[in-house]
Chain A
Amino acid sequence: MNNLVEIRNLRVAFDGVPVLHGIDLDVAPGEALGLVGESGCGKSVTWLAALGLLPGKASVSGSVYLQGQDLTGAPRQALERVRGKRVAMIFQDPSSALNPVIRVGRQIIEALRLHRGLAGTAAKTEALRLMDLVGIPDARNRFNLYTHEFSGGQAQRLMIAMALAGEPDLLIADEPTTALDATIQAQILDLLITLRHEMSMATVFISHDLAAVAQVCERVCVMYAGKIVEEGPVAQLFDTPRHPYTQGLFDAIPSLSGPRRRLVPIPGTVPDPRHLPTGCAFEPRCARARTFCTQHRPELLPQPEGRQLACAYPVPVAQDAVQPEEEYQ
């Protein structure tokens, strides 16, 4: 077994309402994996559950292995050692992870002490190196500032510096650029890509922005209503999406070149977790659905070309665009 992380049959329910319906997911060392899907489909909950960060009212089952070590049911102390040290998570909103009343330099030093046992000048030197690494200009003079004295993009960089303090094997970036300007988003995406290569650290990039994911990641998981519905290499999913939901997500992205066109929405909205359709959760919004779909929930199954897919009537692989659309069984 040489996966860094293996998630098996992960299920989460809040107040008896299931929101994750059995997630199986692997992350290989050093790879960049994207997790996409509309708001509420369970992207964040998957990783919060895996790292034991959900509130007590959440009931979690299934298993999460980090290099063979089972994290589910691990004692709190063991989990705390893993978090930050071996797996670090950065969030959309830096203020949730940075302390407004402690100088930023101190916060990074504290993370270094906790995860790497560094202290004194060694810690300070390393903290400055990390601030440089994430591109904080003039780090030496800004070491003693508070977070509100940094811009949004810089606060995001500081959070990344904190996350790197433990030299993690896996960095989970949950919508790290959504709140930032386009030009600053581009800087942060660039930084994530560079860091990943320099530190040979695996990255899970959670986003609704399929285009950003396609640029950063090698492999993508598409989630819908608490399940993975399609998984595969970025280029494969992008060139020939097979799940109607994946195709819908790609089609909905307005283009920046070519003729201007009317946008292509996915009709309807994501289902309420309390009233999930009995069959395929996407069926009410799916143009390819048939009666079969209203009764049977499709399983995520491996396909010959390497991807995994959960759909009874997937989008045909167009061999030849002029051929009439073939029915798939």
Chain B
Amino acid sequence: MSPLLEARDLVRIYQTRRGLLGRPSNVRAVDGVSLKVRRGETLGVVGESGSGKSSLGRMLLGIDTAQGGAVYTNGKAMPVFGSPEWRSLRARIQMIYQDPLAALDRRISVAEQLREPLDIHRIGDSESRMARVHEVMLSVGLRLDQADKFPHELSGGQRQRVVIARALMTEPELLVCDEPVSALDVSIQAQVVNLLADLQHDRGLGMVFISHDLKVVRNLCDRVAVMYLGRIVEEGPADTIFSDPQHPYTQALVSSVPQPGRALKSRIILQGEPPNPGNRPPGCAFHPRCHKAEDICRHTVPETRSAGVECRAACHFAGHASLRELA
């Protein structure tokens, strides 16, 4: 059976200009990304700011068109943005953004926000729409007396629940979540993450979970893709990525997460600055910051290779015993 979502060699190029008179230059924000999401599976996407995670998310939904490559849902190619086929597909794949206030309409009540997708997609009559609103509210842990509230009358966690509820109204098969819990306190973040885990479990939802919070990703996601400068540099089961990362960037990323009780000294502190996508280093794009780089890294782009069970990594030394010895 074809996967719920498949992306092949996606490319997204932005034209930017430095200053008013600067010459336009091309930035390859996403540079040949392939991935698969199966039904009921959550794929985490992590990586440095600017590595192309949000751009990738928008292409997966067809909101942004890819300049190269293709997206397939259930084996079928993504219809053209805005076409009737695309709209009906949009009922089945939904996006959740970081900022709930921006995603919600300040002027209308919770119940109206939730009913809107049903109105747009002309699903059911007004009675069944209201019943569905109540059902979904309860399933995300909102109280029915909150139906008449406006977004600003809710707490951050409650607002994010409304955003999730809204995305669930049309019974999607796939959710693309872009930093859905980043703006929340840990205590509230845990409420929302558990909610997403339940939805995935109970409804067999497929999910792409974009986040810079590695601790959340590890506990929620089945597989993880690590992005660096527009490419996936490592991908594999969450447990393996976090316990035995192969790519030096993943190693640094995982070790940089503060953990109470773990000494600071055991971390790999990366040297240098986050990379500039407009000025991609030759060879392995990570080499200027890499603690393991050797000569070959400076001129030869590493191929993505298998690095253990269901793992792949784009590093010249991935999967080699020598790398583990160095670590």
For A250, the chain B residues whose CB sits under 8 A away are: 260
Within B138-194, which residues are at the interface with A (CB < 8 Å)?
Answer: 155-158, 185-191, 193-194
Complex contact A254–B218 (CB within 8 A): yes
Question: Max chain A CB contacts within 10 Å: which of B187, B190, B254, B256?
Answer: B187
Q: Does B317 contact A (CB under 8 A)?
A: no
**Does A133 reach chain B (CB closer than 8 Å)?**
no
B64 touches A (CB below 8 Å): no
Question: Is A153 interfacial (CB 8 A cutoff)?
Answer: yes
A268 to B260, CA, bound (A): 25
Partner of B238 from A137, A212, A238, A260 at Cβ < 8 Å: A260
Does A266 lie within 8 Å of B187, measured CB to CB? yes
Chain B hits for A190, CB < 8 A? 264, 267, 269
A154 to B272, CA, bound (A): 10
A181 touches B194 (CB 8 A): no
A249 touches B186 (CB 8 A): yes
Residues of chain B within 8 A of A67, CB atoms compared: none
Question: In the bound complex, how far is the Cα of B272 from the Cα of A253, in angstroms?
Answer: 29
Which of B49, B239, B270 is close to A260, meaning CB atoms less than 8 Å apart? B239
Contact across chains for A184 and B260 when beta carbons are under 8 A apart: no
Interface check A319, CB cutoff 8 A:
no
Task: Mark contacts of B292-312 with chain A using CB atoms, 8 A cut-off: 1 yes-contact digit, 0 otherwise.
Answer: 000000000000000000000
Q: Is there a chain B Cβ closer than 8 Å to A300's Cβ?
A: no
Complex Cα spacing A257 to B244, Å: 11
Q: Which of A251-304 contact B (CB under 8 A)?
A: 252-257, 260-267, 269-270
- Which of B215, B254, B267 touches A253 (beta carbons < 8 Å)? B215
Contact with B along A164-206 (1 / 0, CB 8 A): 0000000000000000011111110110010000000000000
Chain A residue contacts of B212, Cβ below 8 A: 181-182
Complex interface: chain A residues within 8 A of B214 (CB): 182, 256
Q: Using Cβ atoms and an 8 Å threshold, which residues of chain A touch B190?
A: 252, 254, 263-266
The smallest beta-carbon distance between B191 and chain A, in angstroms, is 4
A60 contacts the other chain (CB 8 A): no
Given contacts A181-B48, A182-B212, A269-B155, contact A189 B264 (CB under 8 A): yes
In the complex with contacts A181-B49, A186-B256, A254-B270 CB distance below 8 A: no
If A153-B273, A153-B274 touch, whether A214 touches B258 (CB-CB below 8 Å) is yes
**Residue B63 at the chain A interface, CB threshold 8 Å:** no
Once A182-B212, A186-B256, A262-B197 are accepted as A-B contacts, the answer to whether A214 and B261 lie under 8 Å apart by CB is: yes
Number of A interface residues in the complex (CB < 8 A): 44
User: A154 vs B273: C-alpha distance in the bound complex, in angstroms?
Assistant: 8
CA distance A189 to B263 in the complex (A): 13
CA distance A165 to B98 in the complex (A): 37
Q: Is the CB of A252 within 8 A of B267?
A: no
Evaluate contact between B188 and A265: CB separation under 8 angstroms: yes
Q: How far is the CA of A260 from the CA of B253 in the complex (A)?
A: 19
Residues of B within 8 A of A187 (CB): 269-270
Interface size class, chain B: 35 or more
CB distance from B44 to the nearest CB of A (A): 12
Q: A153 to B273: give the CA distance in the assembly, Å.
A: 8
Does residue B243 face the partner (Cβ distance < 8 Å to A)? yes
Contact A208 B185 (CB under 8 A): yes
Most chain B CB inside 10 Å of its own CB: which residue of A153, A181, A209, A238: A181
Residues of B within 8 A of A263 (CB): 189-190, 193-194, 216, 219
CB distance from A180 to the nearest CB of B (A): 8
Cα A254 to Cα B261 with chains together (Å) = 14
Q: How far is the CA of A100 from the CA of B261 in the complex (A)?
A: 39
User: Taking the complex as formed, is B83 at the interface, i.e. its CB lies under 8 A from any CB of chain A?
Assistant: no
User: How far is A315 from B57 in the complex, measured between Cα atoms in Å?
Assistant: 44
Chain A residues in 8 Å Cβ range of B243:
257
Q: Judge whether A252 and B260 touch: CB under 8 Å.
A: no
Which A residues from 129 to 188 make CB contacts under 8 A with B? 137, 151-154, 181-187
Give per-residue flags for B274-306: 1 if the beta carbon is below 8 A from chain A beta carbons, else 0.
100000000000000000000000000000000
Chain B minimum-CB-distance residue to A185 = B256
Would you give the shortest CB distance from A129 to chain B, in whole angstroms? 20
CB distance from B277 to the nearest CB of A (A): 12
* Cβ-defined partner of A255 (8 Å) among B193, B219, B272: B219
Verify if B322 is at the interface (C-beta below 8 Å from A).
no
Is A98 interfacial (CB-CB < 8 Å)?
Answer: no
Contacts A184-B274, A190-B269, A253-B186 aside, 12 further interface pairs with beta carbons under 8 A come to: A181-B274, A183-B253, A190-B264, A208-B186, A211-B259, A211-B260, A215-B258, A249-B187, A252-B190, A256-B254, A263-B219, A269-B156
Residues of B within 8 A of A (CB): 48-49, 155-158, 185-191, 193-194, 197, 212, 214-216, 218-219, 238-239, 242-243, 252-262, 264, 267, 269-270, 272-274
12 contacts between A and B (CB under 8 A): A181-B49, A185-B256, A190-B269, A211-B258, A249-B187, A252-B190, A254-B193, A255-B218, A256-B215, A260-B218, A260-B239, A265-B191
